[in-house]
Structures are given as structure tokens and as C-alpha cells.
Structure 1
Amino acid sequence: MRVEVMPNSYNIDMTLLLRRYAGEGTIATMTSQPAPQRNVRDGMLAAAVALLHEHGPDALQTRKVAGAAGTSTMAVYTHFGGMRGLIAEVAEEGLRQFDAALTVPPTDDPVADLFVIGAAYRRYAIKHRHMYRLMFGSTSAHGINAPAHNVLTLTVAEIEQNYPSFAHVVRAVHRCMRAGRITAGSADDDGAVVATAAQFWASIHGFVMLELAGYCGDDGSAVLPVLGSMTSNLLVALGDSPKRVSQSMRSAMLGS
């Protein structure tokens, strides 16, 4: 059987890519394979992430990924079982990066922290729009979608362990409930905590998708009147006072 090695037609610096992702503690540490195999696997994953970022999901093709990584087309099947497995890993890598982007130092104001996390969420989605769409199923790569899971069936501890990016929102909401800023539902009821966090997630995701589509402009001018107001209104509906929400929002803006 002849194995075709593809040239790096996209001129991607694989050494730079691997160093970049290794520095973020992601690709270089995510497999226990022997070093030579791991380097090939990590290189293909880094190449696929770069192709998605620069050219969109249409670039996630076996030949293009192999060409960008300077390896054989067969390596996609050897290390990922095919493009479906590779695309799932690309989405997982995006979620790891998303988790890092949402990691902000907590303050003594959990509502302000929730606003800051929302701002970080939007920044990531705008900067990595192709990855964001792939992660959350609004786009596919040649008909292949990233896997999705029902987080509403999970406990807070399970979300912390398995969905660290969503855990940032869950954690902030849980703190708001314990502080009495959100009074709808009990802080001791995991189902209530997760469902409340999902309301904030749904709100910001909906806004981000509209913004990415151009319905809320492309200059960020809709963030305060739409996203900020929507988050504030939700907080008030869940039990906080308009005055305290406004103060927390100002604190978040000053600290961001």
C-alpha cells in the first residue's frame, strides 16, 4: 500500500504551532502515546486548528490537514480514526482554549464576576468565530458536527470535571445564589444551579450568534444596550435589585 505524504501547502510553521499549544498546556499534554506518535498526532491537531481558524470549516479535509502537517493522509486514520474523530478532537481543543479564556480571577462580587465572564465569553467567540461555531454545532465540517451533550442532566461536580468552560458560568451563578443575589431556586439544589446557569449561557450564546451573523453590528456597539441589559434584566428577574446589578456592572466594566 502506497502512503501519500502531503507537502505543507499552507506554509504552516509546525514547530511554532506545537510550541504555542504546548505553552498553553493543551495539545502537548493530552495523550499518553509514545513521543514520535504523539508528535505526529499533535502536529495534525495543531494544523487542523490553524486551518479552521484561518480558512473556516471547509479547510478541514484529509488532504489539506495532512498537507499542512507535512504527513501522510493515512495518519488521519491512524491517529484519529478518520475525519470525524479529528473534528471531535478539534472541538475538544477549542473547548480547552475556551476554558482558558474564561478563567478570570474571582472577586468578592459574584455578579460582577458573572459580567466579566460574559465579556470574556464574547471576546473568545468573536476572535475564534469558526471554532466557536464548530464547538456549539452551528456549523459543520463537510456534514460532520462536533458531539453535543445534555448538561442539564449533570450535577455541579460533574460539570466541574467534564465541562470546565461551562463550569465558569455555573460557579459564578452558584456564588450569586449563595450570596443571596439570585434568590430563584436553592443553592443546594444542583438542578436549580445548573438550570439557572444555562439561562445565562443561552442568553450570551444567542447574542453572540446574532453578532457573528451581523444582526447586531460588527463594532461591539450592541454589547451594552443588548447583552448588558439582557443580563441585568435576567439577574433582576432572578431576585437581585436593579441598583445592586447596576453597581456590579460598573465594577465589572472598571475591572475588565
Structure 2
Amino acid sequence: MAVEEIAGSVPERLVAAAVTLLAEEGPSAIKVRSVAAACGLSTMVVYSHFGGVPELVGAVADHGFGELERGFAEIPVTEDPVTDLFAMGIRCRRTAQANPHLYDLMFGLSTRATYRPAAGAGARLSGHSPAFKAGYAHVIDACARLVASGRISPAEPEVLAASLWSYVHGFISLELADHFVEFEDPLTQVLVPMGVTFCVGLGDTPDRALASHLAALSR
């Protein structure tokens, strides 16, 4: 990775270098020395901006959530909140497939993550991270629109969002771990039926739920 390929402020350059190392070599590559070298900087620069590897990893996770939020913001808001929500689920899957190691860090998984964001006062772990909350707000908003649409039984948008978030990321985690190798297309053969069943359980009709999910696939 050439130094000139990394642009931005010093913290941004360090995070970008860490993200690239993570994608190319895995979490064990995120070391103060390797990240500093990728930017052509001294190790003291890393310590002065982040304190150490755990804090840098937290910034890397925030970077991932920032990318996810921007992806959610690009999804058009339509009159069909189910389509919008499933489009967000598809975007989450694409993000995970693009950099599985980054996804693991973002969601606190330890199968690939050698380092975890530091716990303690001031730590920004997943759900406490402003970067996470900014992206997750899109999900809650779409869930609120779904409740207001009358397509499902009355529900708290926050509870609905948490349930949807759980099944989508459960699917993604299992897919990354190769649990769906027997399926030619896990997205349409597993995730779509899960989503339809989820919506029907909430009170939607099977035909309408399926149509909404298929509409998201065509985006």
C-alpha cells in the first residue's frame, strides 16, 4: 500500500491504512508499527492520536459504521417501508462481504477479530457509538413508517428495528461462516423467506410482503 494512496488528515490516513491492512491481511496486521509505516509516519503519531491499538480499532469500527450510514442514506425513501428496510439489509450484506474482517470488528465478533475496542470510560462500543447510532437511525425511521402504514400490527419502532437488525445480522454472520454453502443463492433462498415470514408474523400479507422484498432486489 503506497503512502501517496492515503489522503486526508493524519487520523483519517491512519484509519484508512488500518482498514486496508485489515481487509488485505486480517486483524493481526493492525499494529502500531505497520499502520504508521503504511502512512510513512512514526509510531508516536499513532499513540498521540489514538492512544494505542484498541482505540485505533474503535476508530476503524466507527469508520465502518460511517460507511454503512452513507450507504443507508443513498437508499431512496419510498412509499413501501418494507422494500426500504430490506434494501438496508442488502446493503449490510454487501458491506460485510466487501470486508468481512471490518464487519467482525463493527459487530463485536471474535472469530476473526484479534483486537477488540477498549472497554471502559469513554469507550465507543457498537451500540454506544455515535457512528453506529447515525446509521441505525435510518432503520428505526423506516420501522416507524412501517408501523404508521398500517400494514402490520401496532408495535414500537425501536423493538421492531432491534428484531429486524438481529435476524439480518444473524444471517450475515452465518453466511460469512459458510453455513449456507448448500444454497446457490442464500439471499433469495434464505434471507428473502426469512424477511417475508418476519413481516407476515407482524401482520402483513404473504403476497404483499414477498412483493416488497422482491422490489428491493431489483434496486
Matched, 1:148 2:125: yes
Superposition deviation, residue 170 in structure 1: 1.2
| Aligned residue runs from structure 1 range 181-220, under 5 A | 181-185=151-155, 192-217=156-181
Is the CA contact 2:28–2:114 (under 8 Å) kept in the aligned structure 1?
yes
Superposition deviation, residue 230 in structure 1: 0.7
Separation in structure 1 between the aligned mates of residue 137 and residue 67 of structure 2, nearest angstrom: 14
Task: Check 1:124–1:161 CA distance in 2 against 1; reply closer, same or farther (3 A cut).
Answer: closer
Superposition deviation, residue 116 in structure 1: 1.3
Task: Check 1:142–1:113 CA distance in 2 against 1; reply closer, same or farther (3 A cut).
Answer: closer
Determine the structure 2 residue equivalent to 1:109: 80
Matched, 1:15 2:4: yes
Determine the structure 2 residue equivalent to 1:97: 67
Is the CA contact 2:195–2:213 (under 8 Å) kept in the aligned structure 1?
no
Q: SS state of the match for residue 163, structure 1?
A: helix
Superposition deviation, residue 251 in structure 1: 2.1
The structure 1 segments of at least 4 consecutive aligned residues displaced by more than 6 Å after TM superposition are 159-162
Separation in structure 2 between the aligned mates of residue 220 and residue 107 of structure 1, nearest angstrom: 30
Separation in structure 2 between the aligned mates of residue 249 and residue 137 of structure 1, nearest angstrom: 28
Determine the structure 1 residue equivalent to 2:98: 127
Task: Check 1:114–1:214 CA distance in 2 against 1; reply closer, same or farther (3 A cut).
Answer: same
Determine the structure 2 residue equivalent to 1:78: 48
Letter in 2 for 1:246: L
Determine the structure 1 residue equivalent to 2:201: 237
Task: Check 1:160–1:177 CA distance in 2 against 1; reply closer, same or farther (3 A cut).
Answer: farther
Task: Check 1:162–1:148 CA distance in 2 against 1; reply closer, same or farther (3 A cut).
Answer: closer
Is the CA contact 1:94–1:132 (under 8 Å) kept in the aligned structure 2?
yes
Identity %: 37
Superposition deviation, residue 246 in structure 1: 1.8
Length-normalised TM-score, structure 2: 0.88
Alignment coverage as a number of residue pairs? 212
Is the CA contact 1:211–1:218 (under 8 Å) kept in the aligned structure 2?
no
Determine the structure 1 residue equivalent to 2:121: none
Q: For each residue in 1:28-59, what CA deviation from the matched residue of structure 2 results, as whole angstroms up to 9, or x when unmatched?
A: 4xxxxxxxxxx332221211111111111110
Greater mean alpha carbon deviation, residues 204-213 or residues 223-232:
223-232
Unaligned runs of 5+ in 1: 1-11, 19-27, 29-38, 152-158, 186-191
Is the CA contact 2:58–2:125 (under 8 Å) kept in the aligned structure 1?
no
Separation in structure 2 between the aligned mates of residue 222 and residue 115 of structure 1, nearest angstrom: 14
Letter in 2 for 1:110: P
Determine the structure 1 residue equivalent to 2:147: 177
Superposition deviation, residue 231 in structure 1: 0.8
Separation in structure 2 between the aligned mates of residue 43 and residue 173 of structure 1, nearest angstrom: 36
Length-normalised TM-score, structure 1: 0.76
Q: SS state of the match for residue 102, structure 1?
A: helix
Superposition deviation, residue 164 in structure 1: 1.8
Is the CA contact 2:36–2:42 (under 8 Å) kept in the aligned structure 1?
yes
Greater mean alpha carbon deviation, residues 207-216 or residues 165-174:
165-174
Superposition deviation, residue 131 in structure 1: 0.6
